[in-house]
Structure 1
Amino acid sequence: MDTIFLNDIEALRAIIEESPMPIGLFAGREMRIKVANKAIQQAWGKDESVIGKTFHDAIPELNDQPFDKLLDDVYSTGIAYHATEDRVDIIVNGRLQIFYFNFTYKPLKDKEGNVWGVLNTATDVTELVVARKQREEAEERLRMAIESAELGTWAIDATTHETFPSDRTKELFGLNCDEEMGLDTSLSLIDEKYRDYVATTIETAFEKGGSYDLEYPIHDAKTQRERWVRTTGKLYTDENGKPLNFSGIIMDITERKHNDMRKNDFIAMVSHELKTPLTSIKSYIQLLINKIPKGNDEFLNSALVKADRQIVKMTKMIHGFLDMSKLESGKITLSREEFNLCDLLNEIVADVRFYTYTHFFEIYRQDNAIVYADRNKIGQVIDNFLSNAIKYSPRETVIDINCIVIDSNVQISVADKGIGVKPKDQAKVFDKFYRVDNDIIKTVAGFGIGLYLAGEIIHLHNGKIWVESEECEGATFYFSIPLA
């Protein structure tokens, strides 16, 4: 009902003052405030001193706003006025502030139908409006950022697997804006070598949640031209944890990927060329070691042994660069076989003990663990863990090693008593070329590719790799792979 037929102000006063809703009652064409409960006084930023004043005088900051005219129109026409999320500028605590209200001006009539006043009800919706405006502004900024970066967006419905790609996403796949692009279509345009992996990763994200970050080549639907893309996404759920959609962004990384490939090809070429002279130098050094009678020239013997060790280090480094270039070019392959991981662990530790006199190695637990994996590459990971423990822990300390079967996986751990890894660095130590910013580490040789290669090898085996550490209290590096 837009009109109230009451003229007993006292009867209304008790009802209004008890109401939690902001309500004010204005009488006469001059809109004199007869009743204003605490809630509306608070909404106006005033106190009970406004009662008895005209609306115009009680809230002077509203005089340049349309409310005086609106009230007069309601009084003149007898037609109520309803406002939704109207802006109201009110002085509160001496400062002009912006509010938003849903409010109503309802005409009050006597028995003859003559308007004698106006009833004002209001609801403060400032927080809702501000939050919505902030969200809309954030969405607009995000939209502009996405467009400026030439990113595509996509979403996959968790129930129907219906796909919602943006125009830019379709463009990257070589499709027109008006063409349909379902999940099957997009998967069919992914390079065959990567297709199953991408599909499996998406299904895993739907089943287990988490995020998604992949790089792979696609082929233009019209020209078949290869383009490299990077896609990142995340599974979003409702308040009960039920999956809603899997969505994210896609970007063209073709130029960067081609630059990386050229760089990797160059590294591979240089590394390969260095292998031959290093092999020759190592052969000559070992011949000299065998030719010179021991004890005749202690200095020369010692120098040759040290030179031989440096050649071994350089050879390992070159092999690391070669493996990295093969890995990033997609040329690295796994030669899987069944073997006992603890047997391999013991072999590598025995070799390390033979040429390392500065540390002690203790294998505390050796569970029988048959795996189906690349023996040489898993050995490379273990060797890297041990080399790091030697480099970053004090001399004559014990390095603890374990081989433990947990459910359907086997876990290898190598713990040292060294400088540790800061929490901020723990997620990055497996990144390519990452070196911890530390004065002690600056004195240790390395390029930051050992742990990166270790991580990639373990991921190729569908395993996990991580580090646990407290700064200055040592670090424990882990990896786990499935049992055969």
Structure 2
Amino acid sequence: MIIKANPPRFTILAVSDQFLKITGMQRKDLLQKELLTVFPNSFEDDTDRIKLVAALEQVVATRQRVDLPNVSYENFNEQSGEAEVQHWSNYYEPLVDVNGAVTHIINTAINITEALASTAEAKMAMQRLIASEASIRRMVKEAPVGMCILKSRLLYVEEINDYFVQLIGKPPHELLSKPYWEVNPELEEKYKPIIDSVFETGETYRASGEAVPLIRNGKEEVVYIDFVFHLMADYDGIKNAIIIIANDVTDQIVGRKNLENAFEQVRLSKQAAQLGTFDVDMTKQEMIWDERTRSLFGIDHSGPVSYEHDFIQGVHKEDRERVLKVIANLSNPEISDGTYDVEYRTVSKHDGSIRWVRALGKLYFDDSGKPLRFIGSVLDITSQKMDEERKNDFIGMVSHELKTPLTSMLAYQQILRKKLMNSTDEFTRVALDKSNQQIRKMTSMINGFLNISHLESGKIKLKKENFDMRLLLEELIEDFHMITNTHEIVLHTCASAMLHADREKISSVVSNLISNAIKYSPHGKLIEVTCSSAEDHIQVSIRDEGMGIKEEDRKHLFERFYRISTSHRENISGFGIGLYLSKEIVERHDGKIWLESESGIGSTFTFSLPANV
């Protein structure tokens, strides 16, 4: 009988004909049933029941064969046709998988009732043992693993099942009644000495997850197999046969190796990039940091780390509120998908040194939406930040130096324009107008670079005041009407919308969006500006009939220095800083900015700000 090693159920998977005969039971009443459910009241007393359960559990725990030389229970007497107490000798043989866990148990049972009465009856018990092992032929066919019986020292293939045929990769007619090494010559060199040893010693040979070279379906390949070579009595009652029990575990082994390789690649990548990692159990509020993360926070103790004392206190006080807000928003599905990406400074507990880090991670939830686990990595970006700071300082310095001569040029132009007021020299007047436009364009670009420099160095401060967004929009549109005659800019009905914000910076956001709408819609003439107010926020939209923006460009559009590279945009000036600055200004007001666009039809840029009046 083959039993599945799934305590406490111990499901019956296969039984021999001899077992059915001596128990008087039907195969359908046994297969896929729990062992103690099939024989609930058969034991003479609880002692034998306890012994059986203990033996099965011992096989699972120790992965060793366990013998029960004498177990008595009530059973069917095939001669009298009545139930009677019988004595049985049982042994239980384990089958293990690639991980060393017992998956199945082979139970061989010998009725020793008569053997206990007399020597003559003991011979009959031996005959029943022989018959029992011979009946394994039927059990082989039903087994859920590959099984093969090899007869005599010549190892003629006596019996195989479909699982074994599939494993070997050769049809049954090429295997049956032929010497095993003849049909599998690639196995002889390694495994013939092992089977010879099993014959000589009687000891079962077991292998777990062994790489076996096989020629399957005409192709040579390596298959990982759990297998057993077990000596058994043949049909003449002589222990002169080998039963092979085998299970293909290639998928498990290859999967494990791939996983190990992946872990090793991650480990090497992490080591090369000097990445730190963190793992937070949200249910237990336990936090684990690796050595690199501890180093980035200047923690020199090896004990457990604390969210309050090690993380929060380790974040620079000027960044703390912003970082905690990002973390708090992770668990709000309306504004976050759980993705964590933030840059901040750490202050070393050890020596007070300051580092810039970038933290990336993901918050995972259970089925009910409750935060379950928060994992991620931390990267030291101090050098990168220092390079950016030096670059911003340089940009700021150069931009500042350029503004002075440009301001002087603009002043000289204004003087020239006054002198030409009554002049009939049309060419000079047009030339002055065009040069004035170029100077203003250059001034606008320099101001953009200065704003980036100030923004990223933390020098931009918001000067908030109360103002009416509708009036601001009307002023800006009127200004644009004076400098452009190529587009019609329409402000749709907009009620009074009071806002508490930096008027100058919000003005620059609107100006930038309208300027872009003009630049990128050379053929569309209408630009629509809409404004709406709710109880707690004000929303402004600028819609054009321009080129539109492809989906792959939209996600990068608000990045610094990003410009869309297409042939019809080559002649449009700009450095890709306007939308970046607009986004930063809006977000510093705790607002949001987004884009809706369709290539070839047009775009709508919208930003929303909290009223806070």
The alpha-carbon distance between structure 1 residues 277 and 95, as it changes in their structure 2 partners (threshold 3 A), is: same
Could you say which residue in structure 1 is the equivalent of 2:224?
A: 100
Larger Rg belongs to: 2
Compute the displacement of 1:97 (Å): 1.4
Could you say which residue in structure 1 is the equivalent of 2:588?
A: 460
CA distance in structure 2 between the partners assigned to 1:318 and 1:400 by the alignment: 28
Aligned-pair identity (%): 38
The within-5 A match list for 1:443-482 is 443-482=571-610
Could you say which residue in structure 1 is the equivalent of 2:34?
A: none
CA distance in structure 1 between the partners assigned to 2:470 and 2:292 by the alignment: 51
CA distance in structure 2 between the partners assigned to 1:427 and 1:139 by the alignment: 31
Which secondary structure does the structure 1 equivalent of 2:157 belong to?
Answer: strand
CA distance in structure 1 between the partners assigned to 2:168 and 2:369 by the alignment: 42
What count of residue pairs does the alignment treat as equivalent? 483
* Residue 119 (1) aligns with residue 243 (2): yes
Bigger drift between 87-96 and 5-14 goes to: 5-14
Which secondary structure does the structure 1 equivalent of 2:567 belong to?
Answer: coil
Is the 8 Å Cα contact of residues 7 and 110 (structure 1) preserved in structure 2? no
Q: 2:177 aligns with which of 52, 55, 64?
A: 52
Is the 8 Å Cα contact of residues 337 and 375 (structure 1) preserved in structure 2? yes
Determine which structure has greater relative contact order: mean sequence separation of CA pairs < 8 Å that are 6+ residues apart, divided by chain length.
1
Which secondary structure does the structure 1 equivalent of 2:327 belong to?
Answer: helix
- 1:76-131, Cα deviation, whole Å (9 max, x unpaired): 44443443322222222322112222333343337998533233233222112212
The alpha-carbon distance between structure 1 residues 99 and 242, as it changes in their structure 2 partners (threshold 3 A), is: farther
Q: Which amino acid aligns with 1:189?
A: G
Could you say which residue in structure 2 is the equivalent of 1:192?
A: 317
Is the 8 Å Cα contact of residues 294 and 301 (structure 1) preserved in structure 2? no
Could you say which residue in structure 2 is the equivalent of 1:333?
A: 461
The alpha-carbon distance between structure 1 residues 117 and 427, as it changes in their structure 2 partners (threshold 3 A), is: same
Q: 2:562 aligns with which of 434, 449, 457?
A: 434
Computed over aligned residues only, the root mean square deviation of the Cα atoms, in angstroms, reads: 2.8
Bigger drift between 12-21 and 430-439 goes to: 12-21
* Residue 280 (1) aligns with residue 417 (2): no
* Residue 71 (1) aligns with residue 195 (2): yes
Compute the displacement of 1:453 (Å): 0.8
Could you say which residue in structure 1 is the equivalent of 2:209?
A: 85
Unmatched runs of 5 consecutive residues or more in structure 1:
none
Is the 8 Å Cα contact of residues 189 and 220 (structure 1) preserved in structure 2? yes
CA distance in structure 2 between the partners assigned to 1:76 and 1:339 by the alignment: 100
- 1:198-229, Cα deviation, whole Å (9 max, x unpaired): 12212222444432222222222222122222
Is the 8 Å Cα contact of residues 521 and 547 (structure 2) preserved in structure 1? yes
CA distance in structure 2 between the partners assigned to 1:423 and 1:130 by the alignment: 39
Which secondary structure does the structure 1 equivalent of 2:240 belong to?
Answer: strand
TM-score (normalizing by structure 1)? 0.90
Is the 8 Å Cα contact of residues 341 and 359 (structure 2) preserved in structure 1? yes
Q: 1:230 aligns with which of 358, 371, 376?
A: 358
Q: Which amino acid aligns with 1:332?
A: I
The alpha-carbon distance between structure 1 residues 423 and 117, as it changes in their structure 2 partners (threshold 3 A), is: same
Could you say which residue in structure 2 is the equivalent of 1:317?
A: 445
Is the 8 Å Cα contact of residues 359 and 395 (structure 1) preserved in structure 2? no
Compute the displacement of 1:444 (Å): 1.4
- 1:10-67, Cα deviation, whole Å (9 max, x unpaired): 74444433445322222223332111122211111111121112222222222233x3
Q: Which amino acid aligns with 1:305?
A: D
Is the 8 Å Cα contact of residues 133 and 234 (structure 2) preserved in structure 1? no
- 1:451-483, Cα deviation, whole Å (9 max, x unpaired): 111121122222333333333333332323334
Could you say which residue in structure 1 is the equivalent of 2:267?
A: 143
* Residue 386 (1) aligns with residue 514 (2): yes
Unmatched runs of 5 consecutive residues or more in structure 2:
1-91, 94-105, 109-128
The within-5 A match list for 1:216-255 is 216-237=344-365, 242-255=370-383
The alpha-carbon distance between structure 1 residues 69 and 481, as it changes in their structure 2 partners (threshold 3 A), is: farther
- 1:388-433, Cα deviation, whole Å (9 max, x unpaired): 1111111452123333457954443323232332322221121111
Bigger drift between 405-414 and 293-302 goes to: 405-414
The alpha-carbon distance between structure 1 residues 42 and 309, as it changes in their structure 2 partners (threshold 3 A), is: same
CA distance in structure 2 between the partners assigned to 1:324 and 1:26 by the alignment: 82
Q: Which amino acid aligns with 1:95?
A: K
Which secondary structure does the structure 1 equivalent of 2:189 belong to?
Answer: coil
Q: 1:421 aligns with which of 546, 549, 555?
A: 549
Q: 2:425 aligns with which of 278, 297, 302?
A: 297
* Residue 182 (1) aligns with residue 306 (2): yes
CA distance in structure 2 between the partners assigned to 1:143 and 1:440 by the alignment: 46
- 1:366-386, Cα deviation, whole Å (9 max, x unpaired): 466444332222221121111
The alpha-carbon distance between structure 1 residues 468 and 62, as it changes in their structure 2 partners (threshold 3 A), is: farther
Compute the displacement of 1:167 (Å): 0.8
Q: Which amino acid aligns with 2:542?
A: V
TM-score (normalizing by structure 2)? 0.72
Which secondary structure does the structure 2 equivalent of 1:132 belong to?
Answer: helix
CA distance in structure 2 between the partners assigned to 1:136 and 1:411 by the alignment: 52
The within-5 A match list for 1:334-349 is 334-349=462-477
The within-5 A match list for 1:146-161 is 146-161=270-285
Could you say which residue in structure 1 is the equivalent of 2:330?
A: 205
Bigger drift between 380-389 and 282-291 goes to: 282-291
- 1:337-358, Cα deviation, whole Å (9 max, x unpaired): 3444344333322222221111
CA distance in structure 2 between the partners assigned to 1:112 and 1:239 by the alignment: 61
Which secondary structure does the structure 2 equivalent of 1:236 belong to?
Answer: strand
Could you say which residue in structure 1 is the equivalent of 2:20?
A: none
Q: Which amino acid aligns with 1:159?
A: T
Q: 1:267 aligns with which of 395, 401, 406?
A: 395
Q: Which amino acid aligns with 1:469?
A: S
